[in-house]
Amino acid sequence: MNLSSSLSRSLSVFAAILAAPSLLPLPLSANDLAVHGAIVYTMAGDPIKDGIVLVHDGKIAAVGKQGEVTIPENAEQLSAAVVMPGLIDARSTVGLSGILNSAHDQEQLERSSPMQSELRAIDAYNGRDPLVTWLREFGITTVNTGHAPGALISGQTMILKTNTGEITADSVIRPYAMLACSLGPDAMADGGPGTRAKAVAMLRAELLKAQDYVKKIEEGKADAEKQPDRDLRKEAFAAVLQKEVPLAITVHRHQDIAAALRLAKEFEFNLILDGASEAHLMLETIKAAGVSVLVHPTMQRAAGEAENMTMTLARQLHEAGIPFAFQSGHEGYVPKVHVVLFEAAMAATYGLPMEAALAGITINSAKLLGISERAGSLEVGKDADLALYDGDPLEFISRCVGVVIDGNVVSREKR
């Protein structure tokens, strides 16, 4: 079914949706919530007209058409023209880069060394920064956030919900999600390597050290005397080599993309290309390598390393069958501009089908991040993260009118 035409037909007849009669018994709970939508994008199948998402104890308990889903008598009820999974920002620096753009709220980049794999995003994250609230009110419920491009290895990222100012066991999905790397001029800043070849050589040397560290750890399992001393930098790289986390390499030029692909083949780690402005020049090579792409912000300025970017990159990746997701990325002085909802909308404007644009901020983003068992689609048993809109979410005149995270209504603002 064409999502755009389905949405148009549903919105033309949208009216107040009344609670359906109970069909199946469900236990009563103060945490029951029924969310009605003129159209519900589950991202796990065709859109549902006059649909209901039932939430129980923070999880999705049922999804279906009006009249087919049991609604407990005490359930809170919400209605919107469009209901869809909470949006996922696949690469951000929110919580480390603040809304004020001043030195005291910019924690996303440590400039004292080019190689800093030991830096943890969780140790710097400020969930009370207004920028977190700003993003949440657009329907963004999950972010992969952390250290920004700007060093050869700038640090780690983490995946968490945007529902609380404090980091909790419930809000953090993965405390270490990716190791953030840069190739090109970003890697050569502030005392780093002076050339591209030097940057790759330094990275290769660090990976070799990590290989030896992993070998010693394995040997230490049989002989405790061979167990190496803890080394936080090598531990972070070891997680990459053991495929516990991917290495996300920020690249733009085609030669840097090629270098990243060579490293991934040599050391057999999971690679994610971040930015990839010139990926459109080597689609077949990227597809053959089997890697995913974090699309550069669609509205990024075409300058410097990104001078050959194209606003059609997401469409070209989709047509080539290369997995991708949208990100807000990082630009030091405009962190409020790049909202993944807008990035997806712009990509749709430049030819990406609507269903692919929505998937790039929901289920496909969840798959790329390895959290699709919890997030990205409206399916029974998944976390009850929902975004509600008063119209087509990819239209700039539409507004987000409600946000639900883990079954709790965290925003009723019209944004």
118-134 pLDDT, tens digit per residue, is: 999 999 999 999 999 99
What pLDDT score was predicted for residue 192?
85
Looking at the structure, tell me whether residues 247 and 263 fall in a common domain.
Answer: yes
Amino acid letter, residue 233 = R
Amino acid letter, residue 292 = S
CA atoms of 312 and 24, how far apart (whole Å)? 47
In the chain, the percentage of residues whose pLDDT exceeds 90 is: 77
In the predicted structure, residue 5 carries a pLDDT above the cut 90? no
Cβ pair 19, 50 in contact under 8 A: no
Looking at the structure, tell me whether residues 395 and 318 fall in a common domain.
Answer: no
Mean per-residue pLDDT over the chain, rounded: 90
Q: Give residue 77's Cα distance to chain centre.
A: 28
What pLDDT score was predicted for residue 346?
95
Closest CA to 38 of 57, 18, 59, 21: 18
For residue 281, give the CATH number of its domain: 3.20.20.140
Looking at the structure, tell me whether residues 167 and 78 fall in a common domain.
Answer: no
Looking at the structure, tell me whether residues 64 and 143 fall in a common domain.
Answer: no
Closest CA to 71 of 89, 53, 94: 53
Cβ pair 348, 394 in contact under 8 A: yes
Reading the block at residue 132, the tokens are 């977190």
Closest CA to 198 of 209, 187, 207, 208: 187
Looking at the structure, tell me whether residues 80 and 192 fall in a common domain.
Answer: no
Looking at the structure, tell me whether residues 47 and 70 fall in a common domain.
Answer: yes
Looking at the structure, tell me whether residues 113 and 143 fall in a common domain.
Answer: yes
Q: Domain residues for 215?
A: 87-369
Q: pTM of the predicted model, to two decimals?
A: 0.91
More confident residue, 106 or 276: 276
pLDDT tens-digit series, residues 226-258:
899 999 999 999 999 999 999 999 999 999 999
**If you search the block for the tokens 């239209």, which residue do you land on?**
395
Looking at the structure, tell me whether residues 166 and 176 fall in a common domain.
Answer: yes
DSSP reduced 3-state for 113:
coil
In the predicted structure, residue 17 carries a pLDDT above the cut 90? no
For residue 32, give the CATH number of its domain: 2.30.40.10
Cβ pair 170, 415 in contact under 8 A: no
Looking at the structure, tell me whether residues 117 and 41 fall in a common domain.
Answer: no
CA atoms of 403 and 201, how far apart (whole Å)? 46
CA atoms of 80 and 389, how far apart (whole Å)? 6
Q: Let me know how long the chain is.
A: 415
In the predicted structure, residue 18 carries a pLDDT above the cut 50? no
Looking at the structure, tell me whether residues 235 and 268 fall in a common domain.
Answer: yes
Q: What torsion do the CA atoms of 184, 189, 192, 194 make, to the nearest 10 degrees?
A: 60
* Number of domains observed in the structure of the chain: 2
Cβ pair 87, 340 in contact under 8 A: yes
Closest CA to 116 of 144, 142, 167, 151: 151
Looking at the structure, tell me whether residues 396 and 342 fall in a common domain.
Answer: no
- The burial of 391, by beta-carbon neighbours within 10 Å (0-12 exposed, 13-18 middle, 19 or more buried), is given as middle
Q: What torsion do the CA atoms of 63, 64, 68, 71 make, to the nearest 10 degrees?
A: 40
Looking at the structure, tell me whether residues 189 and 264 fall in a common domain.
Answer: yes
